[in-house]
Amino acid sequence: MSSTEKIYRKKTPKSASLFALSKKLHVNGVSHNIRFFSPYPFITKSASGKHLVDVDSNRYVDFWMGHWSLILGHRAKQVFAKVQEQLQNGWMYGTVNKNTIELSEKIAKVVPVAEKIRYVSTGTEATMYAVRLARAITKKKTIVKIDGGWHGYTTDLLKTVNWPYNQTESSGLTDEKHIISIPYNDLEKSTKILQSIKNDLAGIIIEPILGGAGCIPATKDYLRGVQEFAKKKNALYILDEIVTGFRFRNGCLYSTMNLDPDIVTLGKIVGGGFPIGVI
């Protein structure tokens, strides 16, 4: 055991005890793979500003910020006040409501391609419906994604996420023959693969910056080249901005790259960390 681990264990006895219970209740003790680390993750009790506090009262500087969705910090005053205000009026309607309309107006102003907007509960659902929409509109089946591209847990797109890319991502998945992957930032090789699809290309889904693969930015030439191919084949060009939207600017990153996507997907950043997806 390293000296660092010894110090960690000494400082986190309550976390160790609670995580032992969590392992009995949850798969591997967590509800998201990225939240586990050895020897065990600390158990968060509270958060404020840039800090997390665990059950042992240890304080941590948070560089993760709720999957990058809390850009104003934990318990930001502006967000906190609005949440309290809304709770006074109810939190689940199941009907058309004023908040939805007002939010859509704000999104449409800063995301010019958003001619129509649909809300879902997660980013995963947003990409799932984007793929379904592309297939419905084009009457074609093949969707192209990027090697290393992460678009949530939708079964359709859970392919070639982690290296080695020829390895199945999870048990329980079928061999999705209508999902094809292309190499990131290699327009020549990508074009050759795209040309091999012939007349069955429904859409191409791509992130302006590969989030799960290490925050690798795409070159403008690559994004434009892939977009040009999609347009030429009457396929839909889908930009997944769940990681990039509303973080670099008030709007989406595509606006700085001279791109014209057919569909844009957004995630929990829109809700300030609360569950939401946008198509």
Query: In this structure, is residue 121 part of a structural domain?
Result: yes
Within a domain: 91: no
Give the residue from 109, 117, 120, 155 showing the smallest Cα distance to 264: 117
Instruction: Indicate whether 131 and 64 sit together in one domain.
Output: no
Range of the domain at 251: 96-278
Based on the structure, what is the number of domains in the chain? 2
pLDDT category of residue 177 using cuts at 50, 70 and 90? confident
Alpha-helical regions (H) of the chain: 3-11, 13-25, 65-68, 77-87, 98-110, 123-138, 187-195, 220-232
| Same domain, yes or no: 195 and 251 | yes
Q: Is the separation of the CB atoms in 175 and 183 below 8 Å?
A: no
44-48 and 51-54 beta bridge pairing: antiparallel
- What is residue 85's predicted lDDT score, i.e. its pLDDT? 96
Q: Which of 105, 127, 75, 69 is closest to 271 using CA atoms?
A: 69
Q: Which residues have a Cβ under 8 Å from the Cβ of 60 and sit 6 or more positions away?
A: 42, 51, 52, 53, 54
**Which band of pLDDT confidence, cut at 50, 70 and 90, is reported for residue 223?**
very high
Residue 119, in any domain of the structure: yes
pLDDT of residue 28: 93
Tell me the pLDDT band of 161, cut-offs 50, 70 and 90.
Answer: confident
Q: Give the whole-angstrom CA distance, residue 27 versus residue 61.
A: 27
> Do 135 and 268 have their domain in common?
yes
pLDDT at 12: 98
Does the pLDDT value for residue 159 go beyond 90? no
Q: What's the chain's length in residues? A: 279
Q: In which order are the strands placed within the sheet that holds 44-48?
A: 44-48, 51-54, 59-61
Q: Are 267 and 240 in contact (CB under 8 A)?
A: no
Please compute the mean of the pLDDT values over residues 183-204 and round it to a whole number: 96
Q: Are residues 113 and 47 in the same domain?
A: no
Q: Are residues 135 and 52 in the same domain?
A: no
Residue 90 lies in a domain: no
pLDDT tens digit sequence for 30-44: 998 889 999 999 999
Q: Are residues 124 and 47 in the same domain?
A: no
Lowest-confidence segment of 3-12, 151-160, 266-275 by average pLDDT: 151-160
Confidence of residue 148 (pLDDT cuts 50, 70, 90): confident
CATH at residue 7? 3.90.1150.10
Q: Is the pLDDT of residue 164 over 90?
A: no
Beta-sheet pairing, 51-54 with 236-240: unpaired
- Is there a single domain that holds both residue 58 and residue 131? no
Is residue 169 pLDDT above 80, yes or no?
A: no
| Whole-number Å distance between alpha carbons of 55 and 205 | 41
Please compute the mean of the pLDDT values over residues 53-57 and round it to a whole number: 99
Is the same domain home to 204 and 138?
A: yes
For the cut 80, the answer to whether the pLDDT of residue 168 exceeds it is no
Distances in Å between the Cα of 41 and the Cα atoms of 63, 247, 249, 251 are 15, 27, 33, 34
From start to end of 32-100, where are the E strands? 44-48, 51-54, 59-61
Q: How confident is the model at residue 185 (pLDDT cuts 50, 70, 90)?
A: very high
Give domain status of residue 74, yes or no: no
For the beta carbon of residue 219, count every other beta carbon within 10 angstroms. Answer: 13
Domain containing 272 — which CATH number?
3.40.640.10
